[in-house]
Amino acid sequence: MKQRKLIVASALFAAGALALTACGGGSDSESGSDSSSSAAVTIYNVKPENPLIPSNTVEVGGGNVIENLFRGLVRYDPDTAAPINAMAESIESTDNKNWTIKLKAGQTFQDGTPVTADSFVKAWSWGAYGPNAQKANYFFAPIEGYDVMNPADPDGEDGPKKAPTPPTKELSGLKVVSPTEFTVKLTTPQSFFPVEVGYSAFYPLPESFYADTEAFGKKPIGNGPFQMISGDGDTGFTLQKWDGYKGEDKPKISKATFKTYTSDAAGYADLLAGNLDFMDQVPPSALVGNQYEKDLPGRTINKAVGIIQTASLPQYDDNFKNNPDIGKALSLAIDRPTITKAVFNGGRTPATGWVSPIVDGYKAGACGEFCTYDPAKAKEYLAKSKFKGPFSFSYNADGPGNKEVAEAICNSVKNALGVKCDAKSYVDFSTFLKDRSGHKMTSMFRTGWQMDYPSIQNFLEPLYATGASSNDGVYSNPEFDKLIKQANGEEGEAGLATYQKAEALLANDMAVIPLWYQAQQSGYSERLANVKVTPTSTLDLIDLTVK
Amino acid sequence: MSDPDAFATLDTIQEPPGGPAAVATGAGRTLAGDAWETLRSSWVFWSSCTLIVILVVMAAFPGLFTHVDPASCQAARARISPSAHAWFGYDVQGCDVYARTIYGARASMVVGLIATLTAMIIGSAVGVYAGFFGGVVDALLSRLTDIFFAIPLLLGSIIILTSIPTPAGSAFFSILKVSAALAVLGWTSTARVARSSVIQVKQADFVSASRALGASRTWMIRKHILPNAAAPIIVITTISLGSYIGAEATLSYLGIGLQPPVISWGIAINDAAAYVRSTPHMLFFPALFLSLTVLAFISLGDVVREALDPKAM
Amino acid sequence: MARYVARRILQMLPVIIGTTFLIFLMVWALPGDPFAGRCGQRPCSDAYIQAETARLHLDQSLPVQYGYFLGNMLQGDFGTVSNGDTVLHQLGRAFPITLKLTTVAIGFEIVLGIGIGIIAALRRGRFFDRLTLLTSLVAISFPVFVIGFVLQYIFGVRLGLFRVTVQSGAPWQDLIMPGFVLASLSLAFVLRLTRASLLETLNADHVRTAVAKGLPRSLVIRRHIVRNSLIPVVTYIGADVGVLLGGAIVTEGIFNIQGVGGLLYHATKLRENATVVSVATVVVLIVLFVNLLIDLFYAVLDPRIRYE
């Protein structure tokens, strides 16, 4: 009878499930439980959104992998963030506009071909060429010839006419002098150029890249200390030490696996269970009460990284235009120490300026008294302002911890100023960015910045210069622009002093309110020793050892 | 099944709990009348009704239960455990959990009730018509149901919630929107189950007999099909209440559901979920209230289902 | 019967077309800029926006875009994802894993849900019944995230009975805990439905007759009660398949399962129309087949139901 068969089948299923349970626990066929030192170090990663091409990688999923497969002209010291020559022998200029770059001899790619000046020049031209549609395209903007290769759309994005094909595929500002020397001509002086070229968009590419770009995007051939042996974005990538690497930063481990996780909760659970070796940032819930330090005693790192969070005020909105008093009032109303303690448990440090403390030129206190908590003074400034609220704080709900932050800020403003403040959520970053870039914000909105390269310039110019690409609040101060341009051309201490002068101007206008600097709370397993976090917030695989 | 007691229910089931021992026979006995007689003497019925009344009062007049302002949040007292001062402790933002739970009743109950009732009405209508009429009607309605099954929750809710503009500051309208979105995306299960129930009942002899006697279709649906097919619909509906309140929380978590300053149990639960290991009290109390609400409705649904069962008696 | 099945299969075609168009329309109508956030923290270059707009025909009207999509789909080209992979490859990788997870979850619903529901009905009003009611309440009131997180921590991290996360390739034993967590809310429904259905049947005339006839109790239960009670339960479980297929995002996140839920979520965020529509199409196909099987199963459970 069918009835009986159903019951029998169900019973068998249950019995089978129980049997599987018995042999299911503890069977670790993955590398996590293998204690021999030749086993791969497993590192938390997320799925890359793009093919693994340096000029197309602008997010961490791909960036984590690429920075170990390649070496650019310079790399950043894991402790001080200072640039160290990698492929470059020297990068020199007399006027900060014309640069001569000499390469170290004898460097090769992992397929045996040599790293030459062409490897860089061709790669940069390819990345800058508009129709190649590389996401990091704008990094080549300072090089002469960029504009020609990126002609504007004659009738804007929505018009039927397309932008014309650029007449050339080569940046006119790059010239190859010899296989180990090339020159770069910039459109404006940039004293920080030697620091900037360490960014991943400037990595060299072998000839095989141009032959089959698609295959390269799945399995890149680099010139760095590691080579990729297997994997894909969905499950993870396995890297192995490349014996042919001639640089001085040779790794001590032999294998590393960047395992893709669908959520940070899963990664943390695996870390606790011993299946994962390193997680760059533990979930916000593990920070509460220092839970992560209790879970991983002696195996945590809390290190400042080049990330800052800010709250921007829309300068295109009548309520906030030419109204520094409102920005000052709001800034004085945000109780940074209490919020960072309550929500992040010390994982963030209250900001005193617009520049991260880890870069050269950081000067504490640029924000002055306005970044302290003073409800009385806040009310004074509010009274002076023509707009007195109510306020809202817009954010994207898909970022972990964003909701708590937004609500905490609004509660603080409410309590200090006695005005209404509501946290306004957008369903995801895409929807949020559309309104943000489209200048549709009506009140405070969440902004932040993660440095591309360790320089004070990177925290100021792309965000606050008139018309800058990430200046979503449409802040404009000609004096600021002037100082930035001047500082870009100056060397060393003089340049830093000028940048600091520019930063001080931001306090007067208070169009963007500094909130806090971010530190990263990493956790690692018992297998690892010599664990260091790089300035780009990743695990340093060079000094790392396995016990 | 060798337990002799298990079968005692077979014998006792013929007398539903608190069954009317002496009911006037004769003219005027209707199903509803019978049901009321049964319910009147059931303690389960009265206790769940009382609980629901308390919850409704809580939703309508939260000020009666607490004097604390749920929107007064101080970050300095975040996550403090329950004490004599704050019975349920404080949450992540430093708001009083007890006050937020009391005030959250309104939004949760409204969303739960509206979404559940809407889904029940749409789902039952579609299911009953599909099951009863069969043929082309069934094909059309069932295939329509299948299409709705394929709509992902995230996508569907974003579309529904963002295409209908909300007048700013109108909390009730936003609650209505969320309820509508949940109902539109959730009626399909009810429809399928209702249809299956009707198909099963349709085959019974008394239905054929009724047709032979010349009953109209509406009469048959109302008097014969619905009472017999109602049981699974009632079960699903009463449990759905709880799951809709939970779904509302998911939408808020995704950023498209109810927005502050609206408070609901779902929002409180979701905000507290990540901290369940370190400070479970923030999650526990709103979840407890949700459980009580669901318990009240499930028990009520159970006892009503039994009372309406034409076979018992 | 055969004609009925043939008719149902024919009806699948308009449903699939209708679904693809509806979902395509919905993703197209999503607010937000498809290019926002794709290029890190800076806006995308004009060149990139132009190339992508041309590739995806975003500057054309909706019916034209849909036409391109349908045309490509019929040729087997389901489009490419942002990281270079094809949609087909992503589906082929994610669907088997999700199907396995869904099978485990449905298995739990059938075995535990129906089994416990039957026992609860027979022991109505007693301790066991009340206990199952309490457990159902917990499953309903606590979000899946909490249940999954707690179970993962207690049984995985602390007691080490289960693997904490699922390995790539998703072997069956790894899916036991995730499957249970995924099924937890539905278990409450199945349990209560079975219980109510059974209680209704216990009142039926044919049951009274059977008992009066003197049939052994186990036989009465097996032959007369359970079979007749299962129809709404089985229907609900079948309906649940569709819900679980695309909606397991939270469970997948907790246990690191590279399934369809995550694929759908990321594709929706990135406004990748091709992926979302393709996933929805496969889901509706599976839903259609499962519902057809369930409908046919009615005839097995209750011989009075006939199909012509």
C277 has pLDDT over 90: no
* Predicted confidence (pLDDT) at residue B194 exceeds the cutoff of 80: yes
Whole-number pLDDT of residue A392: 93
Q: Is the pLDDT of residue B244 over 50?
A: yes
Answer yes or no: do B260 and A423 touch at CB < 8 A: yes
pLDDT at residue B306, rounded to an integer: 83
CB contact under 8 A, A157 and C46: yes
Confidence check: pLDDT of C283 > 90: no
Closest-CA distance, A33 to chain B, in angstroms, reads: 26
Q: The tokens of A39 are what? A: 């086993």
DSSP state of C301: H
Phi, psi of A348 (to 5 degrees): -130, 150
pLDDT on residue A27: 39
Confidence (pLDDT) at B3? 41
Q: Are C287 and C242 in contact (CB under 8 A)?
A: yes
User: Which residue type, as a one-letter code, is found at position C84?
Assistant: G
CB contacts, 8 Å: A404 with chain B: 92-93, 271
Average pLDDT over every residue of C112-127: 89
Mean pLDDT of chain A: 87
Q: Give contacts of B 79-118 with C, CB under 8 A.
A: none
**Cα B92 to Cα B275: distance, rounded to the nearest angstrom:** 9
**What are C141's two structure tokens?**
């009131």
Two tokens, residue C11: 């009806």
- For residue B235, what is the nearest residue in chain C, using CA coordinates? C193
3-state SS, residue C164: coil
- Cβ B117 vs Cβ B182: under 8 Å: no
Is pLDDT larger for residue C307 or for residue A526? A526
Residue-level pLDDT at A483: 94
Tokens of A413: 């403003």
* CB-nearest partner of C163 from A24, A267, A429: A24
Report the percent of chain A where pLDDT is more than 90: 57
The alpha carbon of residue A128 and the mean position of all alpha carbons in its chain are separated, in whole angstroms, by 21
Residue of C nearest to B286 (CA): C141
- Reading the block at residue B302, the tokens are 């159970």
pLDDT (0 to 100) of residue B28: 62
Q: Of A151-160, A213-222, C106-115, which range is least confident?
A: A151-160
User: Distance between CA atoms of B94 and A408, rounded to whole angstroms?
Assistant: 9
Pairing mode of beta strands A278-279, A512-524 = antiparallel
Kindly report, residue by residue over A454-486, the tens digit of the pLDDT.
Answer: 899 999 999 999 988 889 999 999 999 999 999
β-pair partners for A396? A426
| Residue A11 tokens, joined | 């019973």
> How confident is the model at residue A81, as a pLDDT?
84
Distance from CA of B298 to the nearest CA of C (A): 9
Instruction: Quote the tokens at residue A522.
Output: 């990493």
CA distance C136 to chain B (A): 9
Sequence-distant (6+) residues with CB within 8 A of A291 are: A285, B277, B278
Cα(B77)–Cα(B92) distance, integer angstroms: 9
User: Could you write out the DSSP letters of every residue in B218-254?
Assistant: HHHIIIIIHHHHHHHHHHHHHHHHHHHHHHHHHHHHH
**Which pairing describes strands A512-524 and A444-450: parallel, antiparallel, or unpaired?**
unpaired
More confident position, C83 or A179: A179
Q: What is the pLDDT of residues A37-65, one digit of tens each?
A: 567 899 999 988 888 999 988 888 888 99
**In this model, does residue A8 exceed pLDDT 50?**
no
* Rounded CA separation B40/B45 (Å): 7
Q: Are A184 and A174 spatial neighbours (Cβ–Cβ below 8 Å)?
A: yes
**What is the residue type of C148?**
G
In order of A135, B8, B116, C150, C162, the CA distances from A27 in angstroms are 42, 47, 45, 21, 9
Q: Helix, strand or coil for residue A444?
A: strand
The answer to whether A493 and A456 are in contact (CB under 8 A) is no
pLDDT for position A297: 93
Of the candidates C249, C233, C241, C257, the one whose C-alpha atom is nearest the C-alpha of residue C291 is C241
Tens-place pLDDT, residues A143-180: 999 988 887 766 655 566 667 788 888 999 999 999 99
What is the pLDDT at residue B71? 86
pLDDT tops 60 at residue A24: no
Q: Regarding predicted confidence, which is higher, A277 or B248?
A: A277
The residue in chain A having the minimum alpha-carbon distance to the alpha carbon of residue C47 is A130
Q: Which of A342, A396, A398 sits opposite B94 (nearest CB)?
A: A342
Rounded CA-CA distance A452/A454 in Å is 7
Which pLDDT value is given to residue A158? 58
Q: Specify the 3-state DSSP secondary structure of B206.
A: helix
pTM listed for this prediction:
0.85
* DSSP structural state of residue A533: B
Q: What average pLDDT does range A23-29 have in this prediction?
A: 39
Q: What is the pLDDT of residues B51-99, one digit of tens each?
A: 999 999 999 998 888 888 888 888 888 888 888 888 888 988 889 999 9
Report chain B's mean pLDDT, rounded to a whole number.
83
User: Which three-class secondary structure state does DSSP give residue B70?
Assistant: coil
What letter does residue C233 receive in the DSSP assignment? H
Give how far Cα C188 sits from Cα of B106, B239, C113, C227, C294, Å: 25, 8, 7, 20, 21
Q: Compute the average pLDDT of residues C199-207.
A: 80
pLDDT (mean) for B159-188: 83
How far is residue A529 CA from its own chain's centroid? 25
DSSP A380-422: HHHHHSS----EEEEEETTSTTHHHHHHHHHHHHHHHH---EE
List the structure tokens of A380. 């004074």
pLDDT of B18 above 50: no
pLDDT-based confidence at B125, cuts 50/70/90?
very high
Query: What string of DSSP letters covers C209-258?
Result: HHHHHT--HHHIIIIIIIHHHHHHHHHHHHHHHHHHHHH-HHHHHHHT--
Q: Which whole number is the average pLDDT over A257-282?
A: 92
**What phi, psi does A188 have (nearest 5°)?**
-130, 155
Nearest CA in chain A to B275: A285
Mean pLDDT value of segment A175-189: 93
Residue A351 pLDDT class (50, 70, 90 cuts): very high
Q: Please tell me which of A367-376, C258-267, C273-282 the model is most confident about, judged by mean pLDDT.
A: A367-376
What values do phi and psi take at C137, rounded to 5? -60, -40
The closest of B115, B47, B48 to B266, measured between CA atoms, is B115
| A309 vs C202, more confident | A309
Structure token pair of residue B89: 């402790």
Nearest CA-CA partner of C204 in A1, B253, A362, B201? B201
Full DSSP string of B20-42: -SS---STT--HHHHHHHHHHT-
Element (H, E) at C151: helix C144-151
For A536-540, C30-34, C70-74, C89-93, which range has the lowest pLDDT when averaged over its residues? C30-34
Question: A175-189, C14-28, C76-90: which has the minimum mean pLDDT?
Answer: C76-90
- pLDDT of C32 > 80? The answer is no
Q: d(Cα A175, Cα A182) in Å, to the nearest integer?
A: 6
Q: Which structure tokens are listed for B303?
A: 């006892």
Q: A25–C162: do the CB atoms touch at under 8 Å?
A: yes
In this complex, the chains that touch B, judged by 3 or more CB pairs closer than 8 A, are A, C
